Amino acid sequence: MSLSHYESYIGFDVSETAVDLCRRRFANDRGKKFYLLQKFSGQMADAVLSLDVIYHLVEDDVFQAHMEMLFDAARHFVIIYSSNENQDPALSYTYIRHRNFLRWVEENANGWKLEEHVPNAFPFKGDVRNESFADFYVFSRASS
């Protein structure tokens, strides 16, 4: 967030600690606001970001609700940073479940298309501090 330059930004998170940290860190930036996810009430934005979230949604209903919220809240773009592979839920960790979210988008997000897939420059090979299994995916609302 400190590297981005948004005129206006609203961030939602399930973690009170994360929200408090962001509020303190960006206290002098009036363009950035942070709230707990339960305060979300249908706000919309030109672009909606989901960074390092999807693979932490281990429950199917929570994943479904998150994906619906992303695409319902975006006017023009949805940007996702996540893994995109199916993993047997029985093999998932307590807090990580890899999913093929592109399939969900194809089946459920009518009017949206994948514009760009940006592979991770440092793909995960075992170094949890310097590598990641996530890539960037940029979706745009198809023109009518």
Give the 3-state secondary structure of 114-136.
EEEEECCCCECCCCCCCCECCEE
Instruction: Give the per-residue pLDDT at 3.
Output: 81
Q: What's the residue count for the chain?
A: 144
Instruction: Give the per-residue pLDDT at 6.
Output: 85
Question: Nearest 5 degrees, angle CA 14-CA 84-CA 105?
Answer: 80
What is residue 91's three-state secondary structure? helix
pLDDT digits (tens, 9 = 90+) for 32-62: 999 999 999 999 999 999 999 999 998 999 9
- What is the pLDDT confidence band of residue 7, given thresholds at 50, 70 and 90? confident
- Greater model confidence, 144 or 12: 12
pLDDT of 143 > 80? The answer is: no
Structure tokens at 85: 């592979």
Query: What's the whole-model pTM score?
Result: 0.88
Helix-, strand-, coil-residue percentages of the chain, each rounded to 5: 30, 30, 40
CA gap 137, 25 in Å, rounded: 27
Instruction: Give the per-residue pLDDT at 128.
Output: 82
Instruction: Give the per-residue pLDDT at 119.
Output: 95
pLDDT digits (tens, 9 = 90+) for 61-74: 999 999 999 999 99
Domains of the chain: 1-41 (no CATH), 44-141 (3.40.50.150)
Instruction: Give the per-residue pLDDT at 27.
Output: 95
pLDDT digits (tens, 9 = 90+) for 89-138: 555 567 788 899 999 999 999 999 999 999 999 988 888 889 888 999 99
